[in-house]
């Protein structure tokens, strides 16, 4: 494992022409300190975890001192924000230090989020606050623990420098890792400017770096769009199956690799509500939970338009037509697995849908109900009272459980085997808003970061029982209803 000075930088994005980025150094923060360090993420870049104990560690990961080999820059992109095109966005508070190549040959972007003003800050201060940094740090690792593609988080550093959002808060920097931070909007900016050569340059770069198997194909751009479409369809199904809402699915927040990133006002649904809106800044619900699959396709259509100088219109339509079947296939497979079904039959869609309907009627806790279904007793006379009590209309659950029991009889496994399978896909622990809020309040009021580290360890193993952490699986307390997250989160 490497010391900081030994990280193997190989800055491929920096080698692109200046039209793709702006070179600059981070703005120093006074007296930085380490909030939390993620040893699991450190392994991705072959960084020795002991390095986090160095007195100068926080200096490097607030950007006060540059790492040898770093070539800091901010990336240019545009995007559709809440359905409206903004012709230039770019990294307004994020600076890519560079790309580190690990011993396996993988390249990882090392990006400082909150590192100061860039040419794309649009009158912003270029800073992140401790509150939002904690939320993204924990959620990206929670998503990784759930097996959902995501950016990763190496560490949080903090400072007592004041930053104003809805109130005075303190500054922080999140060090984010990802195979790439290229997004749909990275192509849109050049399409809007009529710079078709740059579109081809960026597409060739992304294909060479991330889809090399397509490089020699005559239809490589169509196949590239198809790869992005298929990955996005699967990602949307994964979000829906786990009850996750991103909150700001603008095209500039959509990864070209099908990763979850740019966490802001996200939320894991608690009481089941398909119209769940996690973002207080989205009163019309454009990015509500049940809208995410359709928005995924809408965003892909924007990407297809941006790639239109490289792809014939009919080819693009054929690719996009494959989105819905892919999404529905993945979603059915994931939901069937959540019910412990070994094979998905056509009639299982109705079984899944009817369960979700009675959950909606009772606002049954999404995560806890599916986890509890692993204990469903399929015996003909079993009452399943613990599950039954999670519904207002118990008769409706009884009717559903009868249909479920009949369906389980068609499967070859017994209840014990089914429970093991279900527990492996139905998490016991998710990053509920109140859990994140508890960690934030300790950090802000007491400079006590222990709860952040406790949650980090918990969420790395969301499917394990972890009996000593049982209380962290509880449904939210009443005070949690007052928590609101917005685009400043």
The residue extents of the domains of the chain are 4-181, 185-333
Q: What is the pLDDT of residues 285-332, one digit of tens each?
A: 999 999 999 999 999 999 999 999 999 999 999 999 999 999 999 999
The answer, yes or no, to whether residue 488 has pLDDT greater than 70, is no
Residue 184 has what DSSP assignment? H
What is the CA 62 to chain-centroid distance, rounded? 23
* CA atoms in the 13 A half-sphere facing the CB of 315: 17
| Per-residue pLDDT at 120 | 97
Which carries the bigger pLDDT value, residue 440 or residue 488? 440
The CA distances from residue 413 to 1, 125, 350, in Å, are 45, 58, 22
Catalytic residue list contains 252: yes
Q: Which two tokens stand for residue 415?
A: 């209840």
Which residues share a beta bridge with 128? Answer: 172
Q: Give the integer Cα–Cα distance in Å for 104 and 321.
A: 36
Per-residue pLDDT tens digits for 412-426? 889 999 999 999 999
CB distance 250 to 265 below 8 Å: no
Helices 313-321, 220-242: crossing angle, 10 deg rounding: 30
Of the candidates 438, 175, 457, 133, the one whose C-alpha atom is nearest the C-alpha of residue 263 is 133
CB 263 within 8 A of CB 359: no
Residue 480: pLDDT band by 50, 70, 90 thresholds?
confident
Element (H, E) at 440: helix 433-446
- Catalytic residue, chosen from 46, 91, 109, 252, is 252
Is the confidence at residue 489, as pLDDT, over 80? no
**Cα–Cα separations (whole angstroms), residue 116 to 111, 127, 164, 353:** 12, 5, 14, 47
Report the C-alpha gap between 485 and 281 in whole angstroms. Answer: 8
Please give the average per-residue pLDDT across 56-64, as a whole number.
97
Three-state secondary structure call for residue 453: helix
What is the tens place of the pLDDT at every residue in 170-212? 999 999 999 999 999 999 999 999 999 999 999 999 999 999 9
CA distance 435 to 472: 8
């Amino acid at each position: 494992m490497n010391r900081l000075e030994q990280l193997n930088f190989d800055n491929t994005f920096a080698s692109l022409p200046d039209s793709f980025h702006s070179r600059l150094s981070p703005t120093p923060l006074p007296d930085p300190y380490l909030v939390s360090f993620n040893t699991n993420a450190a392994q991705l870049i072959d960084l020795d975890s002991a390095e986090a104990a160095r007195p100068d560690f926080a200096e490097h990961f607030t950007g006060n001192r540059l790492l040898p080999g770093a070539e800091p820059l901010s990336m240019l992109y545009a995007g559709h924000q809440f359905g409206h095109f903004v012709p230039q966005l770019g990294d307004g508070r994020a600076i890519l230090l560079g790309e580190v190549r690990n011993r396996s040959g993988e390249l990882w972007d090392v990006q400082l989020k909150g590192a100061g003003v860039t040419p794309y800050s649009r009158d912003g201060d270029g800073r992140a606050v401790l509150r939002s940094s904690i939320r993204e740090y924990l959620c990206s690792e929670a998503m990784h623990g759930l097996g959902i593609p995501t950016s990763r988080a190496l560490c949080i550093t903090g400072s007592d420098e004041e930053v104003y959002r809805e109130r005075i808060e303190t500054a922080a920097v999140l060090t984010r890792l990802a195979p790439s931070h290229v997004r749909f909007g990275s192509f849109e900016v050049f399409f809007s400017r009529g710079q078709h050569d740059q579109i081809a340059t960026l597409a060739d770069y992304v294909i060479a770096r991330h889809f090399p198997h397509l490089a020699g194909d005559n239809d490589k751009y169509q196949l590239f769009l198809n790869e992005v479409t298929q990955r996005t369809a699967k990602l949307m199904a994964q979000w829906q199956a786990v009850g996750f809402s991103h909150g700001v699915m603008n095209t500039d927040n959509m990864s070209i690799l099908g990763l979850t990133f740019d966490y802001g006002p996200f939320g894991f649904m608690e009481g089941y509500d398909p119209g769940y809106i996690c973002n207080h800044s989205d009163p019309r619900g454009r990015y509500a939970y049940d809208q995410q699959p359709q928005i995924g396709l809408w965003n892909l259509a924007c990407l297809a338009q941006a790639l239109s100088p490289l792809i014939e219109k009919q080819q693009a339509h054929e690719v996009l037509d494959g989105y819905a079947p892919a999404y529905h296939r993945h979603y059915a497979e994931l939901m069937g697995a959540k019910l412990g079904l070994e094979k998905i039959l056509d009639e299982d869609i109705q079984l899944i849908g009817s369960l979700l309907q009675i959950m909606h009627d009772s606002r049954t806790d999404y995560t806890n109900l599916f986890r509890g279904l692993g204990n469903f007793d399929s015996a003909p006379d079993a009452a399943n009272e613990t599950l039954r009590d999670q519904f207002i209309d118990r008769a409706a659950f009884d009717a559903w459980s009868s249909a479920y029991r009949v369906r389980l009889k068609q499967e070859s496994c017994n209840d014990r085997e089914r429970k093991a399978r279900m527990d492996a896909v139905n998490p016991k622990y998710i990053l509920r808003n109140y859990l994140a809020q508890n960690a934030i309040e300790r950090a802000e009021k007491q400079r006590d970061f222990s709860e952040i580290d406790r949650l980090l360890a918990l969420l790395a193993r969301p499917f394990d029982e972890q009996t000593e952490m049982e209380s962290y699986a509880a449904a939210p307390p009443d005070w949690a209803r007052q928590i609101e997250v917005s685009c400043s989160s």
